[in-house]
Amino acid sequence: MTAPQHVAVPRRVTAGFAAGSVGTGGFGVLPGLVLAYYLTDTLAVSALLASVVVVIPKIVDVLVNPIIGARNDAAFAATGTRTRLMWIGTAAIVPLFVLTFAAPTSLPPVLGALWVLVFFTAAAIAYAFFQVPYIALPTDLTPDYHARTRLISARIAVLALAILVIGAGAPAIRDALGGGAAGYLVMAAVSVALISAGMAVSTAIAGSAARRAPASVPVSRTDGRAAFRAARDHHHYRILLAVFVIQALASAVMLAGAQYLATYVLDDAGALTPLFLALVAPALLVMPLWVRVGRRFGKLRGLFTASAVFLAADLLLAIAIGAPGPWVFAVVILTGIGYAGMQTFPLAMLPDVIDEHTRATGRDQGGALSGLWTAGETLGMAVGPGLYLLVLAATGFVSSSADTVVDQPRCAVVGITAGFSLLPAVLVAASMLLLLRYDRKKTS
């Protein structure tokens, strides 16, 4: 393989790229954290129906995102920039996200579920207009192997901060207003203002900087099927995509279960905030460590190590089935350390894989490949709450309205805890088995 190119990314561009994680972090975490609970405990939607509502929009994403990526590739070929779709998504997400959490509580639960389904699907598509080109930017910003890791590590640090601020702050706003419909509406409006601002900054700075050089490989004008063909034919892309989606699914299960664990296992709905802080805050502290691990041992080994840390912590959390207590917060911190690496390394490896695919095919299809990547991530983030809700439904969880909190049977409490711990453990273990099939020699 050719020697790595050492191309530094200006600090302003790095900061602009990282700012996009305010948007991706906020939209990625907040629906996963509160949407299922909003459906079951404010709109009185059954757990089974709620699982359908949170999953369907992301199935739509799987179909739409590769098409968005292919169109972005065509725009990149014509204009040399990926910003047009990014601006559309930045503007459209604001009203659609607010409307998602504006369902009238007077509606019957089925109609409330339909309301959320329609507007959340539209908001997810608007988000994809930004996210698909955004994920492709590192490939365009620098060809340097290690510079990409630094670029992604800056992004993940901001991502962790955004998740902390929005993931912890948004429920606090909701609770300060007494919960219910009004609390969720104000929460959504404040959160999406931050989300859209991060998107705008990133589009204006990093999106504009990532311009295609005249001598670069021609961008392929193709349809959304190109990414699916790459997933079928390109070994590294297929394995990395599958690992990332499964791990996103595991993370989403834990996010969806955090509110239920706080309310029904730790007997304190307000414990959601410290639980969330314990999961996400370590990323701010350990990110430099994961960067050094990647530089010394390689991104692949770094990803496997981070996954092992996450898995070990989840297995320890299963003890809470029989002995819940404050010790849970300490173990969740360990989970957060693994989570930071699991976010960093796949995103740092993706530009390398896109370059490898470009060399193999002679066509630049970075947007299409990023489109399927983001579709897989958003599907995992939505299926996670859906899987968790299915566990609740199978173990006898009883839904409630905004005015009442129902005592749960012992089997439901066991389901809440096992879904939060053992289910993510199984998923991450499966991803590690897939990762063992990744050919290290071709990525050294």
The 10 Å Cβ neighbour count of residue 309 is 20
Say what the alpha-carbon torsion angle 400, 406, 410, 412 is, to the nearest 10 degrees: 10
* Mean predicted lDDT score pLDDT of the chain: 82
Catalogue all structural domains in the chain, each as residue range(s) with its CATH number: 12-211+224-443 (1.20.1250.20)
31-48 confidence digits (pLDDT tens): 877 888 889 888 888 888
SS3 for 308?
A: helix
- Cα-Cα-Cα-Cα dihedral sign, residues 123, 126, 127, 132: positive
Classify burial at 118, counting beta carbons within 10 Å of its beta carbon; exposed 0-12, middle 13-18, buried 19 or more: middle
Cα angle: 27, vertex 31, 35; to 5 degrees: 165
Classify burial at 215, counting beta carbons within 10 Å of its beta carbon; exposed 0-12, middle 13-18, buried 19 or more: exposed
Cα angle: 341, vertex 345, 347; to 5 degrees: 125
Query: Residue 29's closest CA among 282, 310, 317, 254?
Result: 254
Q: 382: number of CA atoms within 13 Å, CB side?
A: 23
Q: How many Å separate Cα 347 from the centre of its chain?
A: 11
Q: 347: number of CA atoms within 13 Å, CB side?
A: 30
Residue 169 amino acid letter: G
User: Phi, psi (5° rounding) for residue 401?
Assistant: -90, 180
Cα angle: 197, vertex 85, 246; to 5 degrees: 80
Query: Residue 288's closest CA among 350, 353, 337?
Result: 337
Q: pLDDT at position 313, please?
A: 93
3-class secondary structure for 205-246? HHHHHCCCCCCCCCECCCCCHHHHHHHHHCHHHHHHHHHHHH
Place of tokens 């490989």: 217
Q: pLDDT at position 443, please?
A: 40
Q: pLDDT at position 229, please?
A: 75
Contact between 251 and 424 under an 8 Å Cβ cutoff? The reply is yes
Q: pLDDT at position 442, please?
A: 47
Please give the model's pTM, rounded to 2 decimal places: 0.70
**Ranges under pLDDT 50 in the chain:** 1-4, 213-220, 441-444
247-303 confidence digits (pLDDT tens): 989 988 988 888 888 888 887 777 777 887 888 777 778 877 888 888 888 889 999
Question: How many Å apart are CA 352 and CA 299, to the nearest integer?
Answer: 11
Name the packing angle between helices 366-394 and 225-233 (round to 10°): 80
